[in-house]
Amino acid sequence: MNRNPTKSPRANILVVDDTPNNLRLLSTLLTEQGYEVGKALNGQLAIKSAQAAPPDLILLDIKMPQMNGYEVCQQLKSHDQTKQIPIIFISAIDEVLDKVKAFQIGGVDYITKPFQREEVLARVENHLNIQALNNALRQEQKKSENLLLNTLPKTIVEELKQHQRAIPKEYDEASFLFSDIVEFAANSSSMPPTEVVDLLNQVFSAFDQLAQHHGVEKIRTIGDAYFVAGGVPLVRPDHAAAIAEMALDMQQAIAQFRWPNGQPLALRIGINTGGPVVAAVLGTKKFAYDVWGDTVNIASRMETQGAPGKIHVTTATYEQLQDKYQLQKRGVITVKSKGEMTTYWLVGRRW
């Protein structure tokens, strides 16, 4: 029977058998078909070999001293590095219960000795093709997951994977930051649209790196506005400090960018702390993660009623930051829909 080895180019197969003659026979058969073949005379060597250089497929004998084939399979299936390797059992044992056990512990096929050359090659080729398709599917799933991670928090992606939906969650307290680029419309109106997009991409990419560094979550961007949460979706007691660090570093980062006229970009930042707030995923075709609550609205007001180059915070945020950060009292201001509020400027760190 003529087989075309190019269907599985340079596939690496590990043959495990404690009988040298069987090992040599299978090795020669597979090598003649263009496969790269590794050999192991016992279970311990097989596990070490598979972990050091995972093969594309394993042909595994059952009756071996010290560690039988079932135990080898269970060991390999218990480790992330080797659990996806297809294992074909090849044994003189022809009992139904033994075959059932082989499949129950993770084997993909079972060949009975004495084996036929054509049967071994056909089954090997078939499972290598299946494995190639599974690998391609896993790659596509990984791409899809990475796309989701660009839109949603990691914990939410995991919840969607497990339950196909994310349950809205209430948080007792968190901190929120809104920022926008000062005079963005006026300064960008004379720029080509592609340059405006490129500038925003550079700025927001820098902010994204800061968010990852400080363990806070970017919720969304709207135009030149950037919205970040601390303590959502991952609860952390130091959410106010994390957002403060984010704000201070954002002010440093934005100073590295210039308008075409050479003037540096500047941010207006507002922060508020409180709760409760509710976070949830909206949509079924295009997902969006967002947070709602009066605390969020006030954080937005702090930004719009702030000042260029400054970080405007509420009394609630001030109370959590005052021991470790330098803050200056702004005084009483009238906040839309809230009335009079005492607010502060976050200036820097005390250390």
pLDDT in tens, 182-207: 999 999 999 999 999 999 999 999 99
Same domain, yes or no, for 194 and 145?
A: no
* Residues labelled catalytic: 180-181, 224
Q: Are the beta carbons of 270 and 178 closer than 8 angstroms?
A: yes
Residue 297 falls inside a structural domain: yes
Say whether both 294 and 170 belong to one domain. yes
Tell me, yes or no, whether 220 lies in a domain: yes
Return the pLDDT at 99: 93
Tell me: do 295 and 245 sit in the same domain.
yes
Q: What pLDDT is recorded for position 152? A: 76
Nearest-angstrom CA–CA distance, 196 and 338: 35
Amino acid identity, position 304: T
Q: Is residue 206 part of a domain?
A: yes
Q: What is the CATH number of the domain that holds 300?
A: 3.30.70.1230
> Domain boundary at 118, 149, 180, which?
149
Instruction: State residue 236's pLDDT score.
Output: 96
> Please, what's the b/e burial string for 19-54 (b: 16 or more CB within 10 A of its CB; e: otherwise)?
eeebbebbbebbeebebebbbbbbbebbbebbeeeb
Q: Which of 124, 149, 174 is the last residue of a domain?
A: 149
Domain extent for 98: 5-149
pLDDT of residue 1 exceeding 50, the answer is no
Query: What CATH number is attached to the domain comprising 13?
Result: 3.40.50.2300
Residues 9 and 142 in one domain: yes
One domain, residues 343 and 204: yes
pLDDT digits (tens, 9 = 90+) for 107-141: 999 999 999 999 999 999 999 999 989 988 888 87
Domain final residue pick, 92, 119, 149: 149
Quote the mean pLDDT of the chain: 92
How far apart, in whole angstroms, are the C-alpha atoms of residue 219 and residue 300? 13
Q: How confident is the model at residue 6 (pLDDT cuts 50, 70, 90)?
A: very low
Span of 41-50, 253-262, 280-289 with lowest mean pLDDT: 280-289
Taking residues 132-155, report their average pLDDT: 79
Inform me whether the pLDDT recorded for 233 exceeds 80. Answer: yes
Same structural domain, 140 and 174 = no
- Average pLDDT, integer, range 86-107: 94
Judge residue 139's burial from the number of C-beta atoms within 10 Å of its C-beta, 0-12 exposed, 13-18 middle, 19 or more buried.
Answer: exposed
Q: Looking at the structure, do residues 54 and 141 belong to the same domain, yes or no?
A: yes
Lowest model confidence (mean pLDDT) among 130-134, 159-163, 264-268: 159-163
Number of domains making up the chain: 2
For residues 209 and 308, state if they share a domain. yes
Identify any residues that bridge with 287 across adjacent strands, giving them in sequence order.
Answer: none
Answer whether residue 36 shows pLDDT above 50. Answer: yes
Is residue 285 scored above 90 in pLDDT? no
One domain for residues 224 and 115: no
Query: Would residue 159 count as lying in a domain?
Result: no
pLDDT value for 156: 78
Give me the pLDDT at residue 9, please.
52
Q: What is the pTM of this model?
A: 0.65
Task: Dump pLDDT digits (tens) for 40-83.
Answer: 999 999 999 999 999 999 999 999 999 999 999 999 999 999 99
What pLDDT score does 286 carry? 74
pLDDT tens-digit series, residues 103-112: 999 999 999 9
Answer whether residue 156 is part of any domain: no
Over 80: is that where the pLDDT of 8 sits?
Answer: no
140 and 179 assigned to the same domain: no
Does residue 160 belong to any structural domain of this protein? no
Calculate mean pLDDT across residues 298-313.
Answer: 97
d(CA 41, CA 241) in angstroms, rounded, equals: 59
Q: Are residues 183 and 215 in the same domain?
A: yes
Same domain, 287 and 323: yes
